[in-house]
Chains A and B, each alone.
Chain A
């Protein structure tokens, strides 16, 4: 028997709905989350009758102050129709066709156009729909019509899909003395990581991030998020990254508690390349990234290029993350192209003298060759940039990128 719980007034948001579903776990562990406000409970094998189940649902939902409509039936559709019909409706097995017959077509939750077309044909109830011949009805209304016709007769072959439960893997060491040395903290972390990895292996999961909460004697709590380069369940990899992350960290008071949580859980084992000659050691890279971040106070970056007119907007930096493995990316043996590199300099105003409209002297140096201008003009809807850019070769041999904005000239970079 399937029980449908429908919150008639609606649920304000998904977070509340998830809390309601968690509360319904007290009734049965098999709950299907259909959508926000509608859930099915599989009561097969559960003791009691519909009245007892209904009472259990209401008891579970007391803290939420919502009024649920509870209905039951031999399958998902019948249970939904029972809850739609009214609170406490039970559609018994073998009687579902008769019970559904007087219900309107909206119970099917098909689109409004279809309902209107059926109304024009004089079909207004599930009973009238069930009476239509199956083949012609499906041919006329499409493949979904087969499901509607079955549902109108009380047949629902769709499987019950129980919701997954979020697994929280964490370990804590609280109120067991205080640590004033780095070694003591690392030792405690090693113990916690051991517990977490043991739990991860038991669940067949890997963690792609860790969260450490450090409780201090001064009642403050420091939270450190650690992103692992690749999801792992190996103690060594986690400890190395955590240790690197904590390098150089100092706290204003002794540490009296640690809580470690594994986040971003992923299924499966760790992929290991068979031919590891040039493969990147991801765990090692994660440790280096954490160490560099701890040392520099900012993350190691990688660059992204993008289409833009001003030079400074043609790239952005994001924290470095390892690329996915791409065997197709190997291209050893291709000749390397030598491309002059633009070296960005701090933008400085320069003195430029023109001859026939183009730069002739930059600073104190004569221009031997000049290319440009390349005009950059952006619309009013962005920060307005209107500039003319030139590449100039000076008599020293240096090739520079300069630009004119308004009446002023600036040095942007040099080629190398």
Chain B
């Protein structure tokens, strides 16, 4: 019998050598309407999935979340579980229809989890955005399962997703700002208009090749 480590390495090598499981084409997709991101994801985020958007500080994760909410509120409802950091004018500038966005105030992790649970069970919102609160792995597993049953996209915003969330996630996307975009000079004549975003697909249950991509042309700074 081979030592356990060798056995594991061999198994891992076999997995990598195996061809990617063909997509059945049955999984419905939620297009993000961000061309480069959709191209990378093969058309969009899988409906019924837990998606983590990770990034430290100014990383663009909320920009992507706002874009997803904008897409969701075009025809249905979106929901955001807010810990008091929301700035609705920015969301509106990103195209989110505020009259179709449920803002659920939840100050504690347990409340946030219960709110997400209720929203997903009821299937009222196509996209639910929440922060990465500290919860048991089983809770994240349950939320992922509920998202799957509801066909909704549960977006979790994190600095760096803890292993419990990553394990339950279908897609993990790590973001960082490649280059802030300023127009004009410094001082009163300079305006921060956005940033170029670089994101790396760290995990995708239905895809093997994980490649970084760059989203260009972020504009529309809210003054």
Contacts and interface: CB of A to CB of B under 8 A. Distances in A.
Interface string A341-365: 1111110000000000010000000
Nearest to B65: A341
A340 B124 contact: no
Contact of B122 (A284, A315, A344, A370): A284
Given A331-B74, A336-B32, A339-B94, A314 B64 contact: no
B100 interface: yes
A378 interface: no
Interface in B90-111: 90-95, 97-106, 111
Interface in A370-388: 370-374
A399 interface: yes
Contacts of B4: none
A369 B99 contact: no
Contacts of B106: 296
Given A296-B111, A397-B58, A416-B59, A330 B124 contact: no
Nearest to A321: B99
B221 interface: yes
Contact of B57 (A289, A335, A397): A397
A309 to B, nearest CB: 11
B40 to A, nearest CB: 15
A301 B218 CA distance: 29
B104 A413 contact: no
Contact of B192 (A320, A344, A391): A391
A344 B86 contact: yes
Given A296-B104, A302-B103, A305-B88, A278 B75 contact: yes
Contacts of A311: 87
Contact of A332 (B74, B95, B123, B177): B74
Contacts of B32: 336
A337 B70 CA distance: 9
Nearest to B71: A336
Contact of A341 (B35, B66, B182, B217): B66
A340 B186 contact: no
B88 A288 contact: no
B139 to A, nearest CB: 16
A291 B180 contact: no
A52 interface: no
A393 interface: yes
A287 interface: yes
B187 A358 contact: yes
B187 to A, nearest CB: 6
Contact of A371 (B87, B99, B123, B190): B190
Nearest to A311: B87
A332 B191 CA distance: 31
Contacts of A399: 58, 177, 180, 192, 195
B119 interface: yes
Contacts of A169: none
B180 A292 contact: no
Interface in B66-81: 66-67, 70-71, 74-77
Contacts of B89: 305, 314-315, 342
B76 to A, nearest CB: 6
B192 A337 contact: no
Given A341-B91, A341-B94, A369 B63 contact: no
Nearest to A399: B58
Contacts of B176: 397
Given A295-B111, A296-B111, A305-B92, A372 B188 contact: yes
Interface of B: 32-35, 55, 57-67, 70-71, 74-77, 84-95, 97-106, 111, 114-115, 118-119, 122-124, 176-177, 180, 182, 186-188, 190-192, 194-195, 197, 215, 217-223
The 3 closest A-B pairs by CB, nearest first: A303-B88, A336-B33, A341-B62
24 contacts: A285-B77, A285-B124, A288-B118, A295-B115, A296-B106, A300-B104, A301-B102, A302-B102, A302-B103, A305-B89, A305-B92, A320-B103, A331-B74, A334-B95, A338-B64, A338-B67, A341-B66, A341-B87, A343-B85, A344-B85, A346-B84, A369-B192, A371-B186, A416-B59
